[in-house]
């Protein structure tokens, strides 16, 4: 692989996840056994302009909770590794993306400080796909991603009621925000007055 990349495996008693991330790559091959999560992650990669290979299995018969969180943690850890010392990156990214009636705003700071503040609309009891994925599973994924990716993540639904649209607009806005934040500005400066991220 050329450019910034990472490949890792994360195995616990609940789940097993392998990730290959290429920040200068393209194409997504995603199989988490949760089709709706695959649908969302495919859009994150596509609109993020990076390559993502992801294979994940876990105790989804219990609930999609563990697998969702661990997928987020694994992809976040891969991002952290691929970013290295974070020299020369844009650092900030934000996007407001519509999908029909839904409008979702995402802002990212590749700050080195983990935190996720997520406010989504839609029907929280709804399960999308089979095995089912709910809004709270996507929230777990995003929280894990921010934690392991050591990044600040804000997600806010500005409008809309269709749950599928809310989550899909979130995935697209996350991709666009990441694409901007990951951009190389040229040079080797760490974009912080502290001198490190
Ligand atoms: Mn869709």
- Compute the distance between CA of residue 27 and CA of residue 49 in angstroms, rounded to an integer: 8
User: Is position 136 within any domain?
Assistant: yes
Residue 176 has pLDDT above 50, yes or no: yes
**pLDDT per residue as tens digits for the range 12-32:** 999 999 999 999 999 999 999
Beta strands in 12-101 (DSSP E): 15-22, 28-31, 51-58, 92-99
User: Is position 128 within any domain?
Assistant: yes
Q: How many angstroms does the Cα of residue 88 sit away from the middle of ligand 1?
A: 34
Residue 1 has pLDDT above 50, yes or no: no
Number of domains in the chain: 1
| Rounded mean pLDDT, 133-144 | 98
- What is the chain's mean pLDDT, rounded? 96
Please report the pLDDT score of residue 2 as a whole number. 63
User: Is position 189 within any domain?
Assistant: no
Q: At what angle do helices 65-83 and 35-48 cross, to 10 degrees?
A: 20
Q: Which domain holds residue 27?
A: 5-182
**pLDDT per residue as tens digits for the range 44-97:** 999 999 999 999 999 999 999 999 999 999 999 999 999 999 999 999 999 999
Name the helix (H) or strand (E) containing 152: strand 152-159
| Rounded mean pLDDT, 162-168 | 98
- Compute the distance between CA of residue 90 and CA of residue 101 in angstroms, rounded to an integer: 31
Instruction: Please give the share of the chain, as a percent, with pLDDT higher than 70.
Output: 99
Tokens of 180: 């901007």
Torsion of CA 168, 143, 182, 90, to 10 degrees: 110
User: Is position 196 within any domain?
Assistant: no
Please report the pLDDT score of residue 16 as a whole number. 98
Please report the pLDDT score of residue 64 as a whole number. 98
Half-sphere exposure of 96 (CA within 13 A, CB side): 5
Q: How many angstroms does the Cα of residue 196 sit away from the middle of ligand 1?
A: 38
- Compute the distance between CA of residue 65 and CA of residue 14 in angstroms, rounded to an integer: 10
Task: Answer yes or no: are the C-beta atoms of 32 and 38 closer than 8 Å.
Answer: yes
Q: How many angstroms does the Cα of residue 46 sit away from the middle of ligand 1?
A: 13
Please report the pLDDT score of residue 113 as a whole number. 97
| Rounded mean pLDDT, 133-153 | 98
CATH of the domain at 104: 3.30.230.40
Q: How many angstroms does the Cα of residue 80 sit away from the middle of ligand 1?
A: 28
Task: Give 127's pLDDT tier (boundaries 50, 70, 90).
Answer: very high
User: Is position 192 within any domain?
Assistant: no
User: Is position 188 within any domain?
Assistant: no
Using the structure block, give the residue that is written with the tokens 């891969």: 78
User: Is position 12 within any domain?
Assistant: yes
- Compute the distance between CA of residue 171 and CA of residue 5 in angstroms, rounded to an integer: 21
C-alpha triplet 41, 10, 75: angle, nearest 5°: 30
For ligand 1, a single-atom ion, which residues have Cβ within 5 Å?
A: 168
């Amino acid at each position: 692989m050329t450019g910034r990349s990472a490949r890792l495996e994360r195995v616990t008693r609940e789940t097993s996840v392998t990730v290959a991330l290429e920040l200068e790559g393209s194409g997504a091959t995603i199989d988490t056994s949760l089709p709706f999560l695959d649908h969302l992650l495919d859009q994150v990669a596509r609109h993020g302009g990076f390559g993502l290979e992801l294979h994940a299995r876990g105790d989804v018969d219990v609930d999609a909770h563990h697998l969702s969180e661990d997928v987020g943690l694994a992809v976040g850890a891969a991002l952290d590794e691929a970013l290295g010392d974070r020299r020369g990156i844009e650092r900030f990214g934000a996007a407001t993306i519509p999908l029909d009636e839904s409008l979702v705003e995402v802002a990212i700071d590749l700050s080195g400080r983990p935190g996720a503040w997520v406010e989504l609309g839609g029907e929280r009891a709804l399960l999308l796909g089979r095995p089912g994925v709910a809004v709270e599973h996507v929230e777990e994924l995003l929280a894990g991603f921010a934690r392991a990716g050591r990044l600040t993540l804000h997600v806010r639904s500005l409008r809309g009621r269709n749950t599928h649209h809310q989550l899909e607009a979130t995935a697209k806005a996350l991709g666009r925000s990441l694409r901007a934040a990951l951009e190389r500005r040229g040079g080797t400066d760490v974009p912080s007055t502290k001198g490190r991220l």
